[in-house]
Structure 1
Amino acid sequence: MKTSFVSNLAIQNAMRLTIQRGQTEMIKLNTEVSTGVHADYGLALGGSTARSVTITSQIERIATLKSTNSIVTQRLAGSQEALATMQDAAQKSLTSLIAFRDNSTADLLKVAQDQNKASISTFTSAANTSLNGEYLLSGINTDVQPLTEYSATSDAKASYDAALSTFMGAQTPPLTSLSEFSKEQMTDFIENTLAPMYADPSVPGSQWSDYSSASSQNMTSRISANEVIQSSTNVNTEGTRKFALASIISSELLSADLPDDVRSVVSGKAIDYMGEAVTGLISMQSDLGLSQERVKKANTSIDAQTKIMKAHQLDLEGIDAYAASVQLKTLQTQLETSYTLTSRLQQLSLINFL
């Protein structure tokens, strides 16, 4: 019988390797217990790893849509606030025009004119609302202020003066002052000279560019995998143009030196156009409201899709947390035992027995 010898150094090295492997496995188990999924998908899933990658990619894609939708929601909400202010300004002008209709008293006309000027200023300020450095009512021209306020030095004022002068000179005999206008001439001037100047920018003869630098093309946003909406509006719509038309009629003609029957024509046209402006602005709000509702429903759908995909992902990548915890505790016990044995082996020495 032959006896072989095993040194305590060899035993120590074996224990050291066991401890290293245990520590590596312990780090892996700690990660799995804390996350609830495999620490190494490729190793654990094998051929199913491609499915895991695909699901993760889909979750990230719809998360990007949800993030984009939050920006769209902010833009739509800001636009709604601006339109509400514009609609309120138009409504106040309409109320004032109706209240002072058929009045020719200078003081009352001055009150109506002051209200109109205040409404123009409020309306223009709201139309030029910006969010995060982008103008909300400029269509796709988000870097350009959309609306220029009507003033004595504006291009719109120059165009109005030129149109009035041309119309008066074309009459037979030519008119030299507003007091010479008849009801028929004033109706003709407003309907066939002024109104076409405030037509859609695409219509020949329109001079709406004196007011607007906005694009008639609105911004669009993808809110889900298969749904795209208009996520902005612009000041080239009928509501804004009719407000400008009614305002210029009120500002320039209502308090002018006109016969009472002609002033009645001016007042009636201003009221009609301002009423159309209010209706047009409400329609703009309704359109944006539909877009807001679609975004809301898209977000609800995205949340449902995300929940389903994450559940599928967990089924694929998840671990048995209880089993992993038990394995971790067992491994901790083994490591503690290994530490104890290693310590005792290190204390073995012939010197202690001599």
Structure 2
Amino acid sequence: MAQTYMIRRQNAEFKTTSTRLASELSTGLTSDVSKRFSGDFSMISSVETSLTALQAYKSASNEAGQFATVMQTTLGLVQDQTTAAVSALLLTSNSASHTQIQNTSNDVMQKFEVVVSSLNTQVGGRSLFAGAATDGPAIASPTAIIASLKTAIAGQTTAVGVEAVVNTWFDALGGGYETIGYLGSTTSIAPFKIGIGQEADVSITAADSEIRDTLKGLALAALVSEGALAGDISEQALLLRNAGDWLLTVGDRQTGMRASLGSVEAQIETASTQTASEISALEIVRTELLSIDPYDTASELEAVQTQLETLYALTARISRLSLVDFLR
């Protein structure tokens, strides 16, 4: 019984050692970290901690990069729609017919709807332009905004009167845009931590003046298609031209906003490259700290396998022994 127990114990030890050595040979890394560092894990622990932090920064940079890229694309679409609307509105002359005015206004209404829809874009379930309120849309539907504006301008008979009301609706503190139009938070989304001491601020919201004024100009022209100043073609034409002039001034501010966002995108890209480089360097250090000598390990594995085969042969021979053979 004692001999059987000893053989079983040796068999288990050889198998465990063989498995360990085979694993080390395939990965090139030691599986006995404690033995490698004699119980002092400070160096490898420091490397692992740094790698964990860098991986977190890498993840944040990827998220920030995706957020900023989609935001830039959306703002590009908004600017394209605005530019197209300006071209159509500024061509509206005093001699424009009712049909021409309605067609132009209908076209701007469609652009207004596209802009509102794009500003409600989400990335990974998070709204881009709603500030800290990322779980919902940034802006109310075009129908809701236009309906509120129609009610507000009721009774106005001149382009100047309609403009004054629309300006108040969009700009006044606690006015229509802040209570009905903008559904996001007044608190900006927190900056993304993309590196040690580095943050990416992508806090553009639909409450910002550039976007608010874009929506104002488009809505001003779109109201004509909804019956604003009905029956007075000259005032409708004037309203469309004024809306075009307004949107023309907004264009430069849109470009500035996109340029600022572009700088943030460049910052994120630089931080991502730096983080990837640091991760690569630390992974090399970790590999060097944990690597094994493949020749020595292969030799040791072969020796253990030979011992295991010898043990199997010895076990088989012992199992054939009998008292009769011994007495002979």
Structure of larger gyration radius: 1
Matches within 5 A, 1:115-134: 115-134=107-126
The correspondence for 1:155, drawn from 142, 148, 153, is 148
1:221 aligns with 192
Alpha-carbon distance in 1 for matches of 2:86, 2:151: 25
Alpha-carbon distance in 1 for matches of 2:135, 2:285: 44
Alpha-carbon distance in 2 for matches of 1:144, 1:268: 35
Whether 2:287 is the aligned partner of 1:295: answer no
**1:253-286 per-position Cα deviation (integer Å, ceiling 9, x unaligned):** 68655585x6675344312211133333333332
Q: Secondary structure at the match of 2:90?
A: helix
The correspondence for 1:239, drawn from 210, 217, 225, is 210
1:281 aligns with 254
- What's the % identity of the aligned pairs? 19
Whether 2:36 is the aligned partner of 1:28: answer no
Alpha-carbon distance in 1 for matches of 2:45, 2:140: 53
The answer (yes or no) to whether the contact 2:149–2:166 under 8 Å persists in 1 is no
1:208 aligns with 177
1:68 aligns with 60
The answer (yes or no) to whether the contact 2:89–2:243 under 8 Å persists in 1 is yes
Corresponding letter in the other structure for 1:159? A
Matches within 5 A, 1:45-64: 45-64=37-56
The correspondence for 1:249, drawn from 206, 211, 220, is 220
Corresponding letter in the other structure for 1:214? G
Corresponding letter in the other structure for 1:54? S
Corresponding letter in the other structure for 1:116? V
The answer (yes or no) to whether the contact 2:139–2:181 under 8 Å persists in 1 is yes
**1:177-205 per-position Cα deviation (integer Å, ceiling 9, x unaligned):** 43xx8xxxx3xx57766435433xxx647
Matches within 5 A, 1:57-206: 57-151=49-143, 154-161=147-154, 177-178=157-158, 186=160, 189=161, 194-199=166-171, 204=173, 206=175
Corresponding letter in the other structure for 1:329? E
The answer (yes or no) to whether the contact 1:151–1:157 under 8 Å persists in 2 is no
Q: Secondary structure at the match of 2:30?
A: coil
2:280 aligns with 307
Shift of 1:24: 2.5
Q: Secondary structure at the match of 1:214?
A: coil
Alpha-carbon distance in 2 for matches of 1:125, 1:119: 10
Shift of 1:27: 2.2
The answer (yes or no) to whether the contact 1:12–1:346 under 8 Å persists in 2 is no
Shift of 1:325: 1.1
Alpha-carbon distance in 1 for matches of 2:4, 2:236: 111
Report which stretch shifted further, 33-42 or 68-77.
68-77
Between the two proteins, the alignment pairs up a number of residues equal to 321
The answer (yes or no) to whether the contact 1:106–1:255 under 8 Å persists in 2 is no
Alpha-carbon distance in 2 for matches of 1:103, 1:288: 42
Q: Secondary structure at the match of 2:199?
A: strand
